[in-house]
A and B are shown apart, each in its own frame.
Chain A
Amino acid sequence: ETGVTQSPTHLIKTRGQQVTLRCSSQSGHNTVSWYQQALGQGPQFIFQYYREEENGRGNFPPRFSGLQFPNYSSELNVNALELDDSALYLCASSLGGGLTQYFGPGTRLTVL
């Protein structure tokens, strides 16, 4: 059974640029959630995708958007990057209807 994988591991961007982060869910999991974890903080829920549709969103602006593909992998896109977007971005997968979310290793984004 393959766990949740994310790419890239690290990324450096400048203010105003756009970034795409990728996530492959655990085998058999059809739900993907994205979280932002600032340094020294707990993860904050960004949004969740279930069967290729956004199904729930946290308190994040529209410049945070996502996609889920038929194989359940997912992308997180962030436009017009700001310095405060620097964080560890975590992807978690689960089976729709299941409560347990399994996290990937994260992508460390630094915005200069």
Chain B
Amino acid sequence: QQQVKQSPQSLIVQKGGISIINCAYENTAFDYFPWYQQFPGKGPALLIAIRPDVSEKKEGRFTISFNKSAKQFSLHIMDSQPGDSATYFCAASMAMGGATNKLIFGTGTLLAVQP
């Protein structure tokens, strides 16, 4: 019940196209949903995040769509660029009491944007 399921495992998109990555969760205790971008040999970098009381959040070319009733959320990358080629992880945050929380990560999507 603490899992976050992510798809697809890999994605190839042409430059200028739209990349779409989907995630689903079961536990309604999750209250924060970030997306991280990770390049080889580097740590994950926060890309964009959303709370469950919002259905959509946009930052530049990156948009999160959130469907609370379906317990699904997705990342859209508009005008995909070769520099976007990386592994993308969705995550969900669960409170552990007090002022702390932990992140449950999806399995990742390897995105390749072809020039």
- Asked if A48 and B46 make an inter-chain contact with CB atoms under 8 angstroms apart, the answer reads no
- Asked if B105 and A42 make an inter-chain contact with CB atoms under 8 angstroms apart, the answer reads yes
Q: How many residues of B contact A (CB 8 A)?
A: 28
- Main DSSP-derived SS at the B contact region: strand
Q: How many A-B residue pairs have CB under 8 A?
A: 71
Q: How many residues of A contact B (CB 8 A)?
A: 28
> Which one, A33, A40, A90, contacts B102 given CB within 8 A?
A33
- Asked if B96 and A48 make an inter-chain contact with CB atoms under 8 angstroms apart, the answer reads yes
Contacts of B97 in A (CB 8 A): 55-56
| A-contact 0/1 string along B83-100, CB 8 Å cutoff | 000000101010011111
Q: A50 contacts the other chain (Cβ, under 8 Å)? A: yes
Q: Which B residues contact A (CB, under 8 angstroms)?
A: 6, 31-32, 34, 36, 41-46, 49, 89, 91, 93, 96-108
